[in-house]
């Protein structure tokens, strides 16, 4: 590759941004977004420069009919990133799968509806 590591990260982030529309409007898109975004190089790009993309990956995990083996690892990422990024969707997953606080999870779900 002829580009710098920073350019590669920025290109990955742009690819992920532009692919959201395709993934969420495709029948198998939620599985495909998990497969792409959960790769180490893409997940690292999300964690370093685009943590807001965690919400879309979280949504893909939530609406995907079968829980994928990567889900436990993704919950660990949400825990790691809570100090720098959180929204109602990622907080909902943390409430359910980390804190086991179902009352707070219901509040977060209501925030998602707003």
Cα 32 from Cα 34, distance rounded (Å)? 5
Task: Quote the CA–CA distance of 110 and 78 in Å, as a whole number.
Answer: 20
112 band by pLDDT with thresholds 50, 70 and 90: confident
Confidence at 43, pLDDT banded by 50, 70, 90: very high
Mean pLDDT of 87-106: 94
Reported confidence tier of residue 95, pLDDT bands at 50, 70, 90: very high
Query: What pLDDT, on a 0 to 100 scale, did the predictor assign at position 1?
Result: 56
- Specify the pTM: 0.87
User: What is the percent of the chain where pLDDT is above 90?
Assistant: 69
Work out the mean pLDDT of the chain and round it to a whole number.
90
Q: Which residues contact 77 (CB under 8 A, 6 or more apart)?
A: 43, 47, 54
Give me the mean pLDDT over the 39-65 stretch. 92
- pLDDT above 90 for 114: no
- Helix or strand or coil: residue 72? helix
The larger pLDDT score, comparing residue 69 to residue 57, is at 57
Nearest alpha carbon to residue 75 among 49, 56, 54: 54
Contacts for 34 with CB less than 8 Å, ≥ 6 apart = 57, 60, 61, 64, 68, 70
């Amino acid at each position: 590759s002829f580009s710098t590591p920073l350019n590669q990260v920025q290109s990955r982030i742009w690819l992920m941004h532009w692919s959201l529309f395709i993934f969420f409007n495709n029948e198998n898109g939620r599985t495909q977004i998990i497969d792409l975004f959960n790769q180490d190089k893409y997940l690292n790009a999300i964690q370093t420069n685009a943590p807001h993309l965690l919400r879309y990956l979280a949504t893909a995990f939530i609406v995907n009919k079968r829980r994928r083996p990567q889900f436990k690892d993704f919950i660990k990422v949400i825990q790691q990133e809570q100090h720098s990024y959180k929204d109602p969707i990622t907080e909902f997953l943390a409430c359910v799968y980390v804190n086991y606080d179902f009352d707070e999870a219901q509040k977060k779900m209501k925030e998602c509806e707003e």
